[in-house]
Amino acid sequence: MTTPHHHQPPEIRVIATGESFRDWASLNDTIMGGSSSAGCRFSDQGLVLEGEVVSAGGGFVSCRSPVYRPPLDLSSYAGLRLRLDGEGRSFKFAVACRDRVFGLTELIPGGLRWVTTVATESADTTVVEVPFDSLKPVVRAKPVSLPVRFDPSCITRLQLLHSRFGDDGEPNPGYRAGAIKLLIRSIEAF
């Protein structure tokens, strides 16, 4: 018995949930001389980013996926859906892509990232949809005006940051220093 072959992609593709968060790791402002400390750990509910955010000298903590090899091809989807318990904070969601055209991503120290700001409810789980066309190109938290277009067919890494700065390089109004606990329940393509 053969199953008919459908060219229609599934409506939703799970990118990360449960076990698949096991290889995610934290990256904090200590890489630039800051003193925030937060770690990522996998739990039965999802990925937990927990620790202390210190504004002086940096002011960010983050969790990021391993590098996807081969890159994720999400060209048949409109964007990514995040389920987060974020304590009412605003986070920066960053996507890295392999740049086929100019290799600009490799030339830029710190790399080009496609980002948007994600706000969360103070209680309960927030579901946020991030359409790919809402992502903005930035380099090290500074917006860039390069002739680049987001290419959902070669996504190499995902990252969620709690930072003093928003996706436009301006101060993040949803930023709070001190103890932080973020739970990422799932990331799906829709």
pLDDT, one tens digit per residue, over 119-151 is 999 999 999 999 999 999 887 767 887 777 889
**Tokens representing 59?**
């002011």
pLDDT tens digits for 38-79?
999 999 899 999 999 999 988 999 999 999 999 999 999 999
Answer yes or no: is pLDDT of 87 > 80: yes
pLDDT tens digits for 10-31?
689 999 999 899 999 999 999 8
pLDDT at 31: 85
Residue found by looking up tokens 């994600």 in the block: 118
pLDDT at 165: 85
> How many other β-carbons are positioned within 10 Å of the β-carbon of residue 25?
11
Burial of 114 (0-12, 13-18, 19+ CB in 10 A): buried
pLDDT tens digits for 141-177?
678 877 778 899 999 999 999 999 887 778 899 999 9
pLDDT at 181: 96
**Average pLDDT score over residue span 76-94:** 96
| Stronger pLDDT, 87 or 110, i.e. the higher one | 87
Q: What is the pTM of this model?
A: 0.88
Bridge partners for 60 per DSSP: 163
Class assignment of domain 13-189? Answer: mainly beta
